[in-house]
Amino acid sequence: MRMNMRALLEDACDVIQSALPAIFERRYSIRYKEDGSPVTEADIFIERLIGDWLRQRLDGVVFVGEESHDHRAVDMGGYVVLMDPIDGTENFCSGLKEWGSCLSVWADGQHLGSALMLPELGERLITGDKVIARQSRITGFSSSFDESILQGIREAGEYRVTGCAVYNLHSVIMGSFKRFINPKGACAWDLMPGLMLALENGCTVFVDDEVFDGKFLQPDRKYRIDIQR
C-alpha cells in the first residue's frame, strides 16, 4: 500500500506541475471570501482537477478541499483526502513564488501518505523521502497575526514571516527553519500533510499545546501548532 500510495502522490504532484500553464492563466482572476482572504480561479481549477483525478483512483473517496468543503467533521470510514490547492494564495495572486499545494490521504482513520509541493520553487516532499536536515537558527511565524508573535519575534533572534504554511512546514522539516509557530490557528487542510511529514522526519510537533500523536484533525475547526526541528 505504501509503494502504491507513494506512486499516487507522485503522480498527483506531476498532474499539478503539468497544469502550471493553465494555473498561471488563472492567477490574477481574484475574488474575496467573507473573511477578506483571496481565492483565485486557479485555486478552484486545481481543486477540481485533483478532486476528479483522485475520485477515479480511490473508490468512494471523501475529498475535503479548502474551496469546496463546508467545514464539517467527516466520517473516517474509507478513503479521506485533505487538500489545500493553493496555500499562500495572497502570495500567489501577488506574483510571489512562495505558495504551495498539499494533500494527505487516509483510509479508515489511518494515514497512508502526504505530499507538500512548491511548484515555482521546484520543491516537493512526499511520504518516504529521506531528509538530511540542515542546521538553521531561523524561527518561522505565521502571517495570521497574534499578539504572541511579537514576543516570539523578540525572542527568536532570526525569524521569517512568509505567508505560506506549506513553505513554512517544508522549511522546518528540511531544517531550513529550526521552528515554525502558528499561535492563531489554521485548518486541517493547511496543516495535516505537513504535520504527518514532520512526525515522519523526527520533528517535535505540538497541536493546541499538546504533543501531537498523528491523529486525524477534523476540518471543522482551526488548530494552533508549534513544530521544532
Q: What is the CATH number of the domain that holds 71?
A: 3.30.540.10
In one letter, which amino acid is 177? F
pLDDT of 85 higher than 50: yes
Q: Are residues 120 and 82 in the same domain?
A: yes
**Are both 199 and 155 inside the same structural domain?**
yes
Domain finish residue from 126, 156, 185: 126
Per-residue confidence at 1, pLDDT binned at 50, 70, 90?
A: very low
- The answer to whether residue 146 scores a pLDDT higher than 90 is no
| Whether residue 103 sits in one domain with residue 37 | yes
Q: Residue 63 is part of which domain span?
A: 2-126
Q: Is residue 163 part of a domain?
A: yes
Confidence of residue 145 (pLDDT cuts 50, 70, 90): confident
CATH number at residue 187: 3.40.190.80
**Residues 224, 206: Cα–Cα separation, whole Å:** 8
Same domain, 54 and 9: yes
Q: Residue ranges of the alpha helices (H) in the chain?
A: 2-18, 20-25, 41-55, 89-92, 147-156, 165-174, 188-200
Cα–Cα distance measured from residue 200 to residue 180, given in angstroms and rounded to the nearest whole number:
16
| Per-residue confidence (pLDDT) for residue 108, from 0 to 100 | 94
Q: Is the pLDDT of residue 3 over 60?
A: no
Residue with grid cell 482513520, as numbered in its chain? 109
Residue 109 shares a structural domain with residue 174? no
Mean pLDDT across the stretch 154-169?
A: 95
In the block, cell 490557528 appears at: 185
| CB-count burial class (<10 Å; 0-12, 13-18, 19+) for 168 | buried
Same domain? For 69 and 146 the reply is no
Rounded mean pLDDT of the chain? 95
**Grid coordinates standing for 218?**
477534523
20, HSE (Cβ side, Cα atoms, 13 Å):
15
